[in-house]
């Protein structure tokens, strides 16, 4: 297909939008002044989705033959984005001619999801590379024209309906294959996209979720008003995420656990390994990481959509299968503290998270820092307590705090779960959080570089104790520094740094002494959980000096901790 250059896209899109609104693409007109109830799902459908908590995300396509990232590894122009992939367009776009996953079994996939304790599936019907994993009538670039010939989307729909698993489809409005996408012919692309979504919503029975991935596109880019109306007319109970230029039904933090948010639904999407699509030997998360990710997400009042990437023959890699079944075994024992719950009344922290249902609160202790856990006071009385994970627990409640004591021998490596019975509904309580343990919390911060000078990525985001915000630097940055001024001298002997994207290759930690920076620690890798203890340092200003990075480094959190007080 031809790939025309973009001329003046802002003007083109405006014309496209008008054209699409006039035609409505068979979805019906949006009348001026009419109530746009089709933009949001019904409350009952949203609450039913929230209760499920845990779903299976699957990224799969012909790219699995190469073991590289889906969509992003495709070479050539990315209209609307910069950069390009490592696989030449001529090779990438013809991989489907070799794609014959004869060991694909939809029933096996769905049974695995159920074994893992998952309640819904979201499958990539079309990614940014434009390849359709269903038998679309409006394109030849599809699975039914591969040697495999079968309609994967249909087989998964049938398997989900048979097994009682809720069904969702990912669809990318971005399409780097389609020659009309983001050109003067973009109106024709919108018509194509709407037609494909009409097929998905018409041909595969009941669909519970439509999951867009618009890469920052606006509602005008996709004519989302008319698109949503069509989708909800065809699938009245569907849930739609926030990536088609409209807020829709829920937020979607990616590859990170979202912040505590109980006033709007959200769902973390995250990979079990590092890559979305299958990669041979890709680094996989441990069982502890998997369970704690689920617990922290649910404790923040979100859902977790956990991704696997099947192999070229259609099977899910054995080690991923085993890990998911281990998660299912854990949920079989402790699922009462996850399913049908809400996050709170204690906000997540370094110690762990909490969930509740009715008068019951489940305290998930993931990390102990002493002989007890101290939580903030709540406006309800604890009438009973027990430990779900086995052993004994002692809970002490005062007007100032709640203290939980569990003997060392009864603490679990993954999660020690305490059940508290209150004298009234936990949902009546305002979420309570512990004071920050970081001396750097909300202190003045400076940095050598900020991504596109955008305050959203400023240095203050690394010291706000919010795992959903970050300090970021410009693409191509190899060296950078982040400096914290605590306002007065303070003594610290531990720190924690959480890095995004694993780019840092060499760094040093410094404090200012007599106007000179002095190095007190060095390292070659930060990653997503760097922590270090050292001899006490007393200083007012502290700096993370990044000496070498593969690309623009970015930091979620930078925390400094005071020495622990000796127990009496």
105 assigned to some structural domain: yes
Q: What is the pLDDT of residues 450-462, one digit of tens each?
A: 998 998 899 999 9
1 assigned to some structural domain: no
> Which pair of tokens denotes residue 135?
């038998």
Asked if the model's pLDDT at residue 526 lies above 90, the reply is: yes
DSSP 3-state of 402: strand
Mean of the pLDDT values across residues 510-526? Answer: 92
Q: What is the CATH number of the domain that holds 556?
A: 2.60.120.260
> Percent of the chain having pLDDT more than 90?
85
199 assigned to some structural domain: yes
Please tell me whether residues 381 and 505 are part of one structural domain: no
Asked if the model's pLDDT at residue 25 lies above 90, the reply is: no
pLDDT for res 300? 96
Asked if the model's pLDDT at residue 186 lies above 50, the reply is: yes
Please tell me whether residues 255 and 149 are part of one structural domain: yes
User: CA distances (Å), 183 to each of 10, 189, 227, 500, in order?
Assistant: 11, 9, 20, 33
Q: Which of 490, 487, 540, 488 is nearest to 510 (CA)?
A: 540
Environment class of residue 230 by beta-carbon count within 10 Å: exposed (0-12), middle (13-18) or buried (19+)?
buried
* Residue after which a domain boundary falls, among 303, 336, 369: 336
Query: What is the pLDDT confidence band of residue 70, given thresholds at 50, 70 and 90?
Result: very high
Mean of the pLDDT values across residues 180-188? Answer: 98
Supply the DSSP symbol for 204.
S
Of 564 and 322, the structure prediction assigns the larger pLDDT to 322
434 assigned to some structural domain: no
DSSP letter string over 115-156?
Answer: HTT--EEEEEEE-TT--BSS--SS-SSBGGGSSS-S-HHHHH
* Residue after which a domain boundary falls, among 283, 315, 336: 336
pLDDT for res 4? 34
pLDDT for res 201? 98
Asked if the model's pLDDT at residue 276 lies above 90, the reply is: yes
Instruction: Tell whether omega for the bond before 345 is within 30 degrees of 0, i.e. cis.
Output: yes
Average pLDDT over the chain, rounded to an integer: 92
First to last CA, the chain: 75
2 assigned to some structural domain: no
Q: What is the pLDDT of residues 312-349, one digit of tens each?
A: 999 999 999 999 999 999 999 999 999 999 999 999 98
Please tell me whether residues 283 and 316 are part of one structural domain: yes
Please tell me whether residues 452 and 375 are part of one structural domain: no
User: What is the β-pairing status of strands 209-212 and 239-240?
Assistant: parallel
Please tell me whether residues 117 and 57 are part of one structural domain: yes
Q: Do the beta carbons of residue 173 and residue 127 sit within 8 Å?
A: no
Q: What is the pLDDT of residues 348-366, one digit of tens each?
A: 988 999 999 999 999 999 9
Q: Which of 70, 57, 65, 58 is nearest to 147 (CA)?
A: 65
* Residue after which a domain boundary falls, among 393, 428, 463: 428
d(CA 151, CA 324): 26
Q: Do the beta carbons of residue 550 and residue 473 sit within 8 Å?
A: no
Query: What is the pLDDT confidence band of residue 31, given thresholds at 50, 70 and 90?
Result: very low
Mean of the pLDDT values across residues 436-441? Answer: 88
439 assigned to some structural domain: no
Asked if the model's pLDDT at residue 555 lies above 50, the reply is: yes
Query: What is the pLDDT confidence band of residue 23, given thresholds at 50, 70 and 90?
Result: very low
Q: What is the pLDDT of residues 474-507, one digit of tens each?
A: 989 999 999 999 999 999 999 999 998 889 999 9
Please tell me whether residues 492 and 420 are part of one structural domain: no
Please tell me whether residues 22 and 52 are part of one structural domain: yes
437 assigned to some structural domain: no
Please tell me whether residues 291 and 375 are part of one structural domain: no
Please tell me whether residues 301 and 206 are part of one structural domain: yes
Please tell me whether residues 359 and 280 are part of one structural domain: no
Q: What is the pLDDT of residues 205-219, one digit of tens each?
A: 999 999 999 887 899
Please tell me whether residues 204 and 289 are part of one structural domain: yes
Count H helices, E strands: the chain?
Answer: 10, 22
Query: What is the pLDDT confidence band of residue 15, given thresholds at 50, 70 and 90?
Result: very low
Query: What is the pLDDT confidence band of residue 36, given thresholds at 50, 70 and 90?
Result: low
Mean of the pLDDT values across residues 532-542? Answer: 94
Q: What is the pLDDT of residues 240-258, one digit of tens each?
A: 999 999 999 999 999 989 9
Query: What is the pLDDT confidence band of residue 6, given thresholds at 50, 70 and 90?
Result: very low
Place of tokens 């508290």: 420
d(CA 104, CA 152): 9
Residue-level length of the chain: 568
Q: Which domain holds residue 467?
A: 444-561
567 assigned to some structural domain: no
Q: What is the CATH number of the domain that holds 409?
A: 2.60.40.1180
Asked if the model's pLDDT at residue 77 lies above 50, the reply is: yes
Q: pTM for this structure?
A: 0.82
pLDDT for res 33? 32
Please tell me whether residues 25 and 64 are part of one structural domain: yes
Q: What is the CATH number of the domain that holds 332?
A: 3.20.20.80
Q: Which of 496, 506, 484, 482 is nearest to 554 (CA)?
A: 482
Based on the structure, what is the number of domains in the chain? 3
Any idea what the Cα angle at residue 335 is, between residues 358 and 385, rounded to 5°? 55
d(CA 359, CA 380): 10
């Amino acid at each position: 297909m031809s790939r025309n250059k973009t001329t003046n896209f802002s003007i083109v899109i405006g014309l496209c939008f008008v054209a699409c609104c006039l035609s409505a693409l068979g979805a019906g007109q949006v009348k001026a002044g009419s109530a746009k109830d089709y933009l949001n799902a019904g409350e009952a459908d949203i609450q039913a989705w929230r209760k499920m908590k845990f779903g299976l995300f699957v990224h799969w396509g012909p790219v699995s033959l190469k073991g590289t990232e889906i969509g992003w590894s495709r070479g050539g122009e990315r209209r609307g984005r910069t950069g390009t992939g490592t696989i030449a367009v001529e090779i990438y776009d013809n991989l489907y001619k070799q794609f014959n996953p004869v060991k694909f079994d939809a029933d096996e996939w769905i049974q695995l999801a159920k074994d893992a304790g998952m309640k819904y599936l979201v499958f990539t019907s079309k990614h940014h590379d434009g390849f359709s994993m269903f038998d679309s009538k409006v394109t030849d670039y599809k699975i039914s024209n591969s040697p495999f010939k079968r309609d994967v989307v249909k087989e998964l729909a049938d398997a989900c309906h048979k097994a009682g698993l809720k069904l969702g489809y990912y669809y990318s409005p971005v399409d780097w294959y389609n020659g009309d996408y983001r050109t003067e012919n973009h109106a024709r692309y919108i018509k194509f996209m709407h037609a494909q979504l009409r097929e998905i919503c018409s041909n595969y029975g009941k669909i519970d979720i439509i999951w867009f991935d618009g890469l920052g596109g606006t509602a005008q880019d996709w004519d989302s008003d008319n698109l949503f109306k069509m989708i909800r007319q065809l699938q009245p109970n569907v849930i739609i995420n926030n990536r088609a230029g409209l807020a829709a039904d829920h937020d979607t933090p990616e590859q990170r656990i979202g912040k505590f948010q109980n006033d709007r639904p959200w769902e973390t999407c995250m990979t079990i390994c590092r890559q979305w699509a299958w990669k041979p030997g890709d680094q996989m998360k441990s069982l502890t990481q998997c369970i704690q990710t689920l617990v922290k997400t649910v404790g923040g009042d979100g859902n977790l959509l956990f991704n696997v990437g099947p192999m070229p023959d259609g099977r899910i890699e054995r080690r991923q299968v085993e890990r998911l079944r281990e998660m299912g075994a854990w949920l079989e024992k402790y699922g009462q503290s996850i399913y049908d719950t809400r996050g709170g009344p204690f906000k997540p922290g370094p110690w762990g998270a909490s969930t509740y249902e009715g008068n019951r609160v489940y305290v998930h202790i993931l990390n102990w820092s002493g002989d007890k856990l101290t939580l903030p006071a709540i406006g309800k009385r604890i009438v009973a307590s027990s430990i779900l994970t086995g052993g004994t627990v002692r809970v002490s409640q005062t007007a100032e705090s709640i203290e939980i004591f569990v003997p060392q021998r009864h603490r679990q490596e993954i999660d020690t779960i305490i059940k508290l019975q209150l004298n009234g509904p936990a949902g009546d309580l305002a979420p309570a959080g512990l004071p920050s343990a970081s001396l750097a919390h909300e202190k003045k911060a400076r940095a050598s570089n900020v991504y596109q000078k955008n305050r959203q990525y400023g240095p203050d985001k690394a010291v706000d104790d919010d795992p959903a915000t970050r300090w970021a630097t410009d693409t191509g940055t190899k060296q950078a520094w982040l400096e914290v001024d605590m306002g007065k001298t303070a003594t610290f002997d531990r720190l924690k740094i959480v890095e995004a994207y694993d780019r840092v290759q060499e760094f040093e930690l410094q404090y200012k002494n007599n106007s000179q920076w002095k190095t007190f620690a060095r390292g070659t890798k930060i990653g997503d959980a760097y922590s270090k203890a050292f001899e006490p340092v007393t200083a007012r200003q502290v700096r993370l000096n990044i000496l070498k990075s593969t690309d623009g480094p970015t930091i979620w959190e930078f925390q400094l901790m005071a020495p622990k007080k000796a127990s009496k």
